[in-house]
Amino acid sequence: MFRWLIRPCLACGIFSVIGCSAITVAVQPGSEAIRRSFPEQTQTGLLSEPEEKPQEATEQIRVVVMPIDVKGEQWGGQFSDAIALHLMNTRRFDVLERSYLERVLREQSLQQSGLIDPETAAKIGRILGARFLITGEAIPLRYQDSAGSYHENLVDTCTIKIIDVETASHFAIIRKEPGIAWTWSYRFMWGIPLSMIWSREDILIDSSEYDEIASQVVTKFINTLKYGAPGL
């Protein structure tokens, strides 16, 4: 009998957060960036894998990641480095070394924060031969958990802008809202053990770490670029 009681509870635990997402994506309608960057894909709006084709060498997409402006904190550079690392791990992106970016910015008398407009971003991207430039700003989450411990390097909200250098316009804007940045793994962590192992506080802390946010931002960027949909 207990088994039959557990199953509805599991379903409720998982499906109660299926519609929840703290990271949303807005995409420029009719962007040509998908066709230029992934010509082997077609924009379907669905995250479905294309038919198998012979493997061909693909040109890496050069991306510039600006230091993220984190209000009142000094780890904006580490946040942008985390985004760059996750991009590089896909093996589809050529991420410009940040020290070289900083040198070019100094030479051009341009600011080194993520608070730049698309025209300026496009200028930087053209100088560096990039296809996309990623900028952004964030508000940190200064959190004290129920045990009294303080947690740093957490992101409360952030807005990451993907700028298409060729058109000097936003390809996509990715925003983390306050709260848990739900993914399927976090949904299962919350739903399957019935919160006996992972509490909402645990998931809030884990999902708000800047490295985790960087990973989710890159996943949504790539899914949108390849398929026209960011995924859940």
Note the pLDDT of residue 5.
36
Note the pLDDT of residue 16.
47
Strands annotated E in the chain: 23-27, 61-65, 69-70, 93-95, 132-140, 143-144, 150-151, 155-164, 169-176
Which CATH code of 3.40.50.2300, 3.40.50.300, 3.40.50.10070, 3.20.20.70 fits the domain covering 18-42+59-226? 3.40.50.10070
pTM: 0.81
- Reduced to 3 states (helix: H, G, I; strand: E, B; else coil), residue 193 is coil
What residue type is assigned to position 157 of the chain? T
Cα–Cα separations (whole angstroms), residue 124 to 54, 85, 93, 107, 166: 36, 21, 18, 11, 11
Q: How is the chain split into domains, by residue range?
A: 18-42+59-226
Ranges of the chain with pLDDT below 50: 1-19, 46, 48-57
Note the pLDDT of residue 34.
58
CA distance 167 to 24: 23
CA distance 187 to 169: 34
pLDDT digits (tens, 9 = 90+) for 198-230: 888 999 999 999 999 999 999 999 998 888 878
